[in-house]
Amino acid sequence: MTPTLEYRDKIAVLTLGDDENRFSPDWLDAVSAALDEVEKDAQALITTGVGKFYTNGLDLDWLMANGDHTEWYVNRVQQLFGRVLTLRVPTVAAVNGHAFGAGSMLAVAHDYRIMRDERGYFCFPEVDIRIPFTAGMAALIQAKLLPQTAVTAMTTGHRYGGEEALAAGLVDDVAAEAEVVNAAATKVQPLLGKDPGTLGAIKSTMYANVVAALRAGK
């Protein structure tokens, strides 16, 4: 299943897929096209997955087979983070299952996060898989997490379940799997109708240093 876009009135719901939803080049193309539509038609964005995974992040199999395209690939991923971070509508990640590595970074790039309460982990495993954070990725995480949470999450690879993620400030609320998208819609409903130009300008100013680091691609 490729990423699909549906609407709840003015709220766009982008389903990232029904497997591990890794960031293959084709997946990145599909998400980019969906965000183009969101910017034209929607007043808010919710992203979610189906089943066990929100997203497992980088497509490491593709990277191993295409090592000469590593810089190009990382730049594309970081462009996605920067775009979601500064999107001109309110955004909520409805984290239905596991969010690992770059998948967790995608979630934290949203304005808000609602996580499944009974299963699934929120994790930055880079220290254990020996892939250091780029400057842009580190800046993104540190802009969104409490300082001590960032230290623990980034340097230990700790796996946060829903309630622990809520206590650590990684997510804004938790809900049952069947209700996570509904909870995200409830979260964003009062925010509909904000002027997109103003909202986009505010986010771009708030996160100017993060966006600069992501665009640098290192």
Distance CA 216, CA 71 (A): 11
Q: pLDDT (tens digit, 9 = 90+) per residue, 63-88?
A: 999 989 999 999 999 999 999 999 99
Indicate the pLDDT class of residue 1, thresholds 50, 70 and 90.
confident
Distance CA 52, CA 49 (A): 8
- pTM recorded for the entire structure: 0.97
Phi, psi of 14 (to 5 degrees): -100, 110
Any idea what DSSP says for residue 146?
Answer: -
Class for domain 4-216, per CATH? alpha beta
Phi-psi region of 2 (alpha: psi -120 to 50; beta: other; left: phi over 0): beta
State the chain's mean pLDDT as an integer. Answer: 96
Strand-by-strand arrangement of the 91-95 sheet: 4-8, 11-15, 44-48, 91-95, 112-116, 173-175
Domain residue spans of the chain: 4-216
Q: pLDDT (tens digit, 9 = 90+) per residue, 9-53?
A: 999 999 999 999 999 999 999 999 999 999 998 999 999 999 999
Give the residue carrying structure tokens 């960031």.
23
Sign for the pseudo-dihedral over CA of 64, 66, 30, 103? positive
Distance CA 34, CA 29 (A): 9
* Tokens at 42, concatenated: 């929607």
